[in-house]
Amino acid sequence: MNTSLIRVSVWIYLAIFFAYLLGPLVIMSATAFNSPAFPSATPWECLTFDWFSALFQDARILNGIKNSLIIGAGTVVLSVLMGLAGALLLTQIWPKLRATYYTIIIAPILIPGVVLGISTLVFWDRVNRMLGLGPDSALSSGLFLTVIGQSTFIASYCMLVLVARLQRYDVALTEAALDLGATHAQAFRKVLLPFMRPAIASSAVLAFLASFENYNTTTFTFGEYPTLTIELAQKVRYGISPAISSLAFIIVVLTVFAALANEALIRRRELVAAARRKATVAELTGGLKLPGFLSGNTAAVLLVVMGIGTVVVLGTAATYRPDQCIADVREQKRLEAEKRAEELRARRDAERKEKSTAEPAAPAPSTGAGNNSGSFGNVFNPGTLQDGATTPAPDAQGSTGSGGNSGFGGVFDPNALQGSGN
């Protein structure tokens, strides 16, 4: 009785927790497949893949992705190298200095990214000038500054990851290598580095993700090389479109894929190791029989299922045309709008007939669900405002009377999609 109550509340807690964690992602993913121009999930209109093609036709987004990848790669290399050097130094340094050194090297994590960005900019500008270089030198290039700026604190993250692994390293291994005739460089390359490889890989992933999502520091340093986050931020200022949702959806899917692949690989290695341990000498020499790729490997099964799912979705996307649905919805909306305009006209006529005192125009006609998003669209989307005003949209008739209302109307206008999508 009591325990079941506890169990139920635990489940409820978990449900809330995961809804909190994953809910926004799910909703946003849904908006990527819905046809309205403002990302919305609830009045589900038409299944569409157009936002994806809109995304891949957006030169600024693509350029942002390219810059992000370049900067990410640079940051990974620089941060992992600096992190490794820092971690190694930590184990070598005189023990009494260790705590102080650690604090200094960790400090960049605690400093606000904005400060790092500004100081990077100022510092390298100084250096640039001191060297007598012009404003178009490599030292003042956005790529260089962003990589350097991000690395100042990402290197610290990398160091934390690497130190954790390094602490489990037995220095006797290096000594054994030296004892067997290796030089220090050889001992490092053949013994320490392979040991550190998993940590180097995870710190590289960490560094890449941190670089990819960074905004605070990058916003000061990007120069002529806006990264994806910068582009997104700038876009949102002028109006948000489901194309961004589709980008987010792609990132989510890639992340899940990577996580599953990693998990499947780890599991597979475990299975192989277990099989090897059980194998006799004869079996080992006579060629190892690997367990089937999928047996006992849930992650691999999920991976395959997701892969198949992706192929199916891509296949559907290639053939599916939501034009009919969109046209239907548009037609329906037009009818609605016409009806409303009709009503309005009728009411005005009635009013005029009554010849009572003139009244200002009625509030903008809007469906209940559209109202919220519409007000958002007004704030964020001056572009669609113009579109709505200039294109002779069907429901523009509905909002005759007061110019301010055309902004609301523009959001509903399917034609406005082209305006914000490109």
Contacting positions for another protein (CB under 8 A): 170, 172-173, 175-183, 186, 190-191, 194-195, 276-277, 281, 284-285
Residue 81 Cβ, how far from another protein at the closest point, in Å? 22
For another protein, give the closer residue by CB, 41 or 178.
Answer: 178
CB of 276 to another protein, least distance (A): 6
Q: Which is nearer to another protein, 273 or 369 (CB)?
A: 273
Of the candidates 37, 55, 54, which has an alpha carbon nearest to the alpha carbon of residue 46? 37
Nearer to another protein (CB atom), residue 181 or residue 363? 181
Q: Which of 199, 181, 171, 153 is nearest to 92 (CA)?
A: 171
Helical packing angle, 113-130 and 142-166, nearest 10° = 120
| Nearest distance from C-beta of residue 184 to another protein, angstroms | 8
The first and second tokens of residue 376, run together, are 């958002």
Q: Which of 293, 289, 295 is nearest to 265 (CA)?
A: 293
Sign of the dihedral through C-alpha 354, 355, 359, 365: positive
Residue 170 C-beta: closest distance to another protein, Å: 6
Q: Which is nearer to another protein, 173 or 259 (CB)?
A: 173
Residue tagged 């809007």 (tokens): 366
Question: Beta-carbon neighbour count of residue 217 at 10 Å?
Answer: 28
Contact criterion met (CB below 8 Å) for 56 and 62: yes
Q: Which is nearer to another protein, 169 or 257 (CB)?
A: 169
The CA distance from 219 to 227, in Å, is 9
Distance CA(151)–CA(136), nearest Å, equals: 22
Least Å distance between CB 269 and another protein?
A: 12
Least distance between another protein and beta carbon 192 (Å): 10
Give SS3 for 93.
Answer: coil
Question: Nearer Cβ to another protein, position 89 or 176?
Answer: 176
| In the complex, minimum distance from the CB of residue 169 to another protein, in angstroms, rounded to a whole number | 10
Q: Running DSSP on this structure, what letter comes out for residue 165?
A: H
CB closer to another protein out of 194 and 404: 194
The answer to whether the CB of 397 falls within 8 A of the CB of 341 is yes
